Amino acid sequence: MLMLACGVMAVAQEVKTYAFVERDSTLYLDVWTPATPRADRAAVLAVFGGGFVNGERDNGLQRSIGQLLSKRGFTVVSIDYRLGLKDTARTKQYHGIKGLQQMFQYCIDIAVEDCAAAVAWVCAHADSLQIDTSRLVLTGSSAGAITVLQLDWCRANGMEQASALPSGWRPAAVVSYSGAIMSHGKPTWKTPPAPTMLMHGTKDKIVAYKKFPPVLSYGIYGAKKVHKQMLKQGFPCWFVRFEGLGHEVASWLPGSVDFFCGFVNQALEGRVTSLDATMEDSRLVPTKWSNMNLKDLYAE
């Protein structure tokens, strides 16, 4: 039975909020039901960004994603997850590069666990939501993009963080806006990942385009490295770089709905190949995010 917390009406779409898991507090998700659903009952689970320190499932970007994609016929699910860097008492115990690695690993792990729990809830309520869970796409921005990439990587490698996922389930596709994978050594996949699209600015210093820290094997591998590893293992992947841009790319989904849908439609039809492209969009211009790094981000 669905646990309805509250509900509001939006023009041409219905938005309802449900509790999906109990952690230290209750985590919720918003479901955007399209006025005219796609015939294939595809859905998108979207994860917000915010550096694992802030952000909300119903912030402006998430609302835009819900509105735009539900108008395209997708059921859209925007989720809560625990923000590991909000716990200042915990973060103060980490020191130096090793401590920074451990801190990010903790933040990513709990976000992945919560995302897996959200997927499990959606799958358990698929009939009521009127979706086909084999056609559930994962997408995220920044920390959210790290979360969805890491979740599929953990799933493909049978890792504990993804254990809440239904047995045998795999995303129909994963779409990452400025995401990465945290790994001891270059990421590899024991079983195939979902068809994946990676979008990243070449000057991104918040979620590194290549890797952070650059000289150690244990770290956060950005889109350039993840793409290289996927190609090496023969997995389909679209890699789109934005020369000269930084973390602005993280919020590009509302400006790239056609591109997003093009990739997802191909994935849903089982005909995704590989793409390596440099893209420009006149609406996506350098801002303060082009030069900001992690220190700047957390000093704000």
pLDDT in tens, 270-288: 998 899 999 999 989 888 8
Residue 172, pLDDT score: 98
Give per-10-residue mean pLDDT for the chain (300 aa): 37 82 97 97 98 96 97 98 79 71 93 98 98 98 98 98 98 98 97 98 96 92 98 96 96 96 96 93 85 76
Question: Could you tell me the end-to-end alpha-carbon distance of the chain, in angstroms, rounded to an integer?
Answer: 42
Residue 4, pLDDT score: 37
Residue 259, pLDDT score: 96
Rounded CA separation 217/185 (Å):
5
Residue 94, pLDDT score: 62
CB 61 within 8 A of CB 254: yes
Hey, what amino acid is at 206? I
Rounded CA separation 16/78 (Å):
11
What total number of domains does the chain contain?
1
CB 162 within 8 A of CB 184: no
Provide the CATH number for the domain around residue 269.
3.40.50.1820
Q: Give the structural domain span for 161.
A: 4-299
Residue 12, pLDDT score: 47
pLDDT in tens, 116-175: 999 999 999 999 999 999 999 999 999 999 999 999 999 999 999 999 999 999 999 999
Burial of 40 (0-12, 13-18, 19+ CB in 10 A): middle
Rounded CA separation 218/135 (Å):
33
- 180-184 β-sheet, strand order: 180-184, 218-222, 211-212
